[in-house]
Amino acid sequence: MHMANFPFSVRHLAGLIIGALLWTGAAAQSAPPAGTAATPALMVQIKCKPGTADLWQAEFEKEIVPAIQEAIAKGDGFTKFTYYESVLPSQVDFILVYEAKSFGGLDVKRPFPHYAALYRRVGPARAAQILSEMGSWEADAKVTLVRVHAP
C-alpha cells in the first residue's frame, strides 16, 4: 500500500491514538469513583476585612448557625451544613457548604431558607441588623455551585 492514499502519516496517526488514550485516562481519573453519591451544594467562601474575622464568626455561630439548623430540621431546602475556618486566612477566612436536595430550589425566587428562619426567630428589624453588620465585616463573598462526593 502506498502512503499517499492516507490523509495522515503514521507518526500523525500514532500521535492521535496516544492523545486519545491520554484523554480517556484523564477523563476516567476526573470522574467520581464508582459507588459515590453526588449531592448538590452551595459553597460560600468568605474573606473578612482585616481584624473582623473573629467578630464575623462569633455572630455567625450565635445567630446564623441556629437558623441554618432550623431550616435543615424543617426540611426547607438544605439537608446538611458544614463550615470550615481557614488556617491560611490570606486566602479566605471561612468556607460554608450548604448541601441541598437539588439545585431546583435555586429556580424559585425567595430568601435563602436560613434567612427566612432568622427573620422568624429574631424578627425582621434584628435580622436585617445582623445581616448588615456581618456584611460590613466581609471584604468578599464568592458563591459556587458544587457537587459533594461522599463514598
* CATH code of residue 61: 3.30.70.100
Number of domains in the chain: 2
Q: Are residues 41 and 8 in the same domain?
A: no
Q: Are residues 23 and 71 in the same domain?
A: no
From 107, 101, 83, select the one nearest 93 (Cα to Cα): 83
Domain that holds residue 26: 1-31
Q: Are residues 62 and 21 in the same domain?
A: no
Q: Are residues 41 and 26 in the same domain?
A: no
Give the chain's residues under pLDDT 50: 1-30
Q: What is the pLDDT of residue 5?
A: 43
Q: Are residues 57 and 106 in the same domain?
A: yes
Cβ pair 151, 33 in contact under 8 A: yes
Q: What is the pLDDT of residue 76?
A: 77
CA geometry: angle 123, 96, 127, nearest 5 deg: 10
Q: Are residues 1 and 48 in the same domain?
A: no
Q: Are residues 19 and 77 in the same domain?
A: no
Cβ pair 146, 44 in contact under 8 A: no
Q: Are residues 119 and 60 in the same domain?
A: yes
Q: What is the C-alpha separation between 48 and 42, in angstroms, rounded?
A: 19
Q: Are residues 23 and 53 in the same domain?
A: no
Q: Are residues 23 and 89 in the same domain?
A: no
Q: What is the pLDDT of residue 28?
A: 41
